[in-house]
Amino acid sequence: MIDRYSIGDRTPGLKTSTDGSLAVLLQPEDAGADHRANWLPMRKVELFWLIVRACEPRGAMKGLSWAGPELVKLT
């Protein structure tokens, strides 16, 4: 287990996709060496709150027209 409670733009080693998107793995198990930088460890729970803090100059978030990140449950 790593001692990490958040991921941000200053997290060392973050890996982005070719289109610039960022996949964050929220799971209790270690994501492995290839994905560890993007891993956010969590306890095994049924319910949790995901909070996104972002700065965006176009006003889409303020105008509540931003759809937010897509969450995909893999297992």
Helix/strand/coil (H, E, C) string of the chain?
CCCCCCCCCCCCCCCECCCCCECCEEECCCCCCCCHHHEEECCCCCCCCCCCCCCCCCCCCCCCCCCCCCCCCCC
pLDDT tens, residue by residue, 38-68: 999 988 887 878 777 777 767 777 777 777 7
The proportion of the chain whose per-residue pLDDT surpasses 70, expressed as a percent, equals 95
Q: Is 38 helix (H, G, I), strand (E, B) or coil?
A: helix
The predicted pLDDT at position 14 comes to 93
Residues 38 and 22: beta-carbon distance below 8 Å = yes
The structure's pTM equals 0.67
